[in-house]
Structures are given as structure tokens and as C-alpha cells.
Structure 1
Amino acid sequence: MTETAASTDRPAPETPEPAPQPHPWAELGPEEFHLLRLAPLPADRVTGLRPRPLRFVQLGRAERHSQVQSLLRLSIQLPGQHLRRETNLLEVWADHRSKEVRFGPDAGLLIEPANRGLGRFLLAQGIAWARQRWTHYKVEGGVLGIKDALSDEARARRDHVLRAQGFTVDYPDPLQSKALYGAERVGELQPEWNREKVQVVGLLDAGAMLEQAHATLLEQEGQIRKLEERIALYKREDGTLRFTITCLIAFALFQAGILIWIATR
């Protein structure tokens, strides 16, 4: 009886709490792809970037909907470059229970290549997607850390982009070590971007650009061929002139020799 009572007084072993399961959309990859044209830009005096040439990048898009949440995930892939997963990534989460929209990821919007208009383009695409469905939803604000912009110029550019899209940016402390961004409603945000810097290229437009580039290449090859033929002709004429000049010099020397021989006889 004593042993039984003692055994019943022992605390039951604690069962370990199950590990939190990742969100079912956490590994959602792009499903639609679009071609983006980045216009050539001159050198940037602020960042020290050299003249930036024309580039083409790929926009990946995926979205999911449920009765509880909706997600839009946008990503930018660069040809020949492997970037970290959090780079060139924008997520827009819509919570239908609280009627709020959140722009992410939490680590901030990291863009490569920088200062080509891609950050504002991604924000504009996310805003347009949210405005089509939930203009009355609230916008969940966030914190912008000092690591997001290490210089005054970088911070000014970041704040300008956010304010141009309709977000408010406030600095609660005088040292401006962090900033708060947000908006009252989704309908207050602006889905605009600099269309001269970033252009969405359709399939037919891309095909027309390739055809034009091919035609230009053929035309340049023809011009190069004509120039090579002219150069070869000039080389032949130059060789003929050199031979003629050599013969004239030899004849002049021969005559001079004869005249000297006659004069000395």
C-alpha cells in the first residue's frame, strides 16, 4: 500500500511540446514569370556606381488564397547570379480575420541590383494586387531599422520611395535610429513606379526585340564585311604603290649613277 501510494504521488512526466509547423505556403515558389527591362542609367554620384547598362531580369509571381489568409509573393531573378533567398523578395499577406494587409518580409526589402527602380516596382505590384481586392483593409505598420539605410542619402532615398507609394514614415526618437512606417487603409497606397526605369516586357514585345536585334546584327555584319573588303583593297593598292615607288627610286638611282659615270669620264 505504501509503495502504491508513493508511486501515485510521483509527478507525471511532461510531454514535450510539438515543434511549430511551418506555414504551408512558406516554401511557395514562383509559378508565373515575366520579363523586366531595366533601362540603362548614367553613373550615380551618390553611390559611386559606374554607368549602368541595359539589363533584363525575370519577375517570378505566386499567390494563394484561403478563407483565413491570402498571399502574394514576388521575386526577382538575375541571369547568371545566385542570390540569397531573402534578396529581391516581396511578400504581401492579407489577414481576412483582422482585415489587415502586411508587406514583408520581416527582414526588410533587399534589392539587387540597387538603385535601378526594382524596389519601388515590387511595392507597386504588391499594392496593386491588394487594392484590387481589399481597399478597405488596414495596413499593418512596421519598423525600419538603422541597418536598412547606413547613410543619410540611403535613408532619404528609402523614405522617399515609401512616401511616394503612400506610406507614412515617422521617426519617434530624435536620434532617428529607427523609423515607423504604415498607412491607414490599402486604398491610400499608390501602385505607381518609374516606368522609364523598369518596364514589363510581353512575349510578343520580347520576340520583336530579338528580331530587331538579329536584324541589327546582320546589318552590322554586312557593314563589317564591306569595311574589311575596302581595307583589303587599300592594302593591295598600298602594296602596288610601294612597288611602284621602289621601282622609281631604283630607276632614279640608276640614272644618277649613269650621269655620274658620264660626268667623270
Structure 2
Amino acid sequence: MRLRRFRLLPRRFSLPKRSLGQWIVVALGLGVIVAALVGAADPYRQTREFREVVACERATSDCFGSEPGSIVDRRTYATTSTTTHTDANGHTYTTTTTTTTTHYEVTWQRADGSQQARDVSSGFYAKAKEGQSAILRVWRGEVVGVEVMGDAQWFLPKSGAVLNAWLYLAFFGLGVLLWGVLFGWWDGLFMLAFRTFAWMFMSFLPVSMTTEALAYGLSTGTDLVIEIVFGLFAIGIAGGMLLTSLVASLDDW
């Protein structure tokens, strides 16, 4: 008995056909990504220049400009947030349970009389008393650090904040691109807003950690571990919300 030899031909892999609307979504997402990366180029360069001054400051402690200032106000305030959930059947409901976060804010005054308020850590807030003198650390005309009683609070320069915004926009464009490539259906304005919120929530901590690392260097030790654990926890929650809504919509379709 002779055995026949069968030649195994490789199967051609092809993406499923997409509608004109889906290709428009893909093109829109790609355009947003390109525009965001182009816009991020200059603030990225400035943030890297700031990083060089930070490294110099840590080596010689005399690289940022300094000017006298004073603490003119301090306050605490709380923010609350509600959590939106999607069950296995795709039904969305809003819980009344709120999460409260306490913020510590300090306002300082510069030599020219201008004032600025920023959120600070609780430890710095405890030392920064109203009416107390302070040393303001300046880079290219903006205050990037405040020193009080041997403690210092540092802030991202404006270039870092602008870089954050462009990176968020790039992440949003990536979501639009992936939606057009992988899905592309329409199941209501509410679900679009819900999925956009979940997708963008996944970007908040990674983007902020990236910008902070570019400006001040990567955290080390316990601080880095805490940031990674908290980041994975937040991404897991938002990713679970997004995945659940997608699975529910697939079942309906």
C-alpha cells in the first residue's frame, strides 16, 4: 500500500474587510497620533534640558536660580469621585459610593508680588506656615521648587505639563486607531464615552510616571514599587471595565 504525500500549502492570512467608516476611523486615529508626536517634540526637548539642570543641581546644588519669597496662604480640600460599573449583560449603573482624596495646597508670593498656588505633599504642607519666608527655585522664569525649613517641594515645569497633554492625546489616538482596526461598531454615545473614559484612565499613571522620569529621573526603591503596584492596580480596574463592556457588546452583536 502506497502512502500519498500531501503537500501542505501555507494558508494566506488576510484581515477581514472593513467598511469605509472604519477606514476613516483608522485614518483619524493615525492622524491624531502623528499630530500629537509632532506637538510633543519641542516640550520633550525642553523637558530633557530641564533634566540636565536637575542632574547639575544634585551634583553641585547651585544650578537653578533662587529668589526670596513667602508663604501667603495654605489650605486643604477634598475631591470625591463616583465609580461606574458595567455588568456582564452590558447594563451600566452608577454607584453612590464615593472615594475622597485630601489635597494640600500652598500659595507663595514672589518678589514682584505675583502669587501661585500648587498642591504639595502633606509633609511639606506641615512645615509651610502662613507668613513664613521661603526660597523659590526658578528655571527660565518659572518657579519649579519651593524650599521651607530645610524641606523642598519640586514641580514639573510647564514643558512637562505640555508634554503630558500631548502624550495623552497620542494615547487617545492609539485608542481610536485600535477601535477602527479591531472593532468599529457603533452601540451608542454613552458606551463610546464610557469606553473612552476607561481607555484614558489606563494612561494617567503611565504617562505621568514617564514625564516625571524624563524631568527628574526614575524613582528608586520603595517609591518605584509603590508607583508600579498602584499603576498596575489602576490599569487592571480600567482594563477590566473596558474588556467587560466589549465582551457584552460582542454578545449583543
Structure with bigger RCO (C-alpha 8 Å, 6+ apart): 2
Report the TM-score, using the length of structure 2 for normalisation: 0.21
**CA radius of gyration, larger in:** 1
Report the TM-score, using the length of structure 1 for normalisation: 0.20
Higher helix share: 2
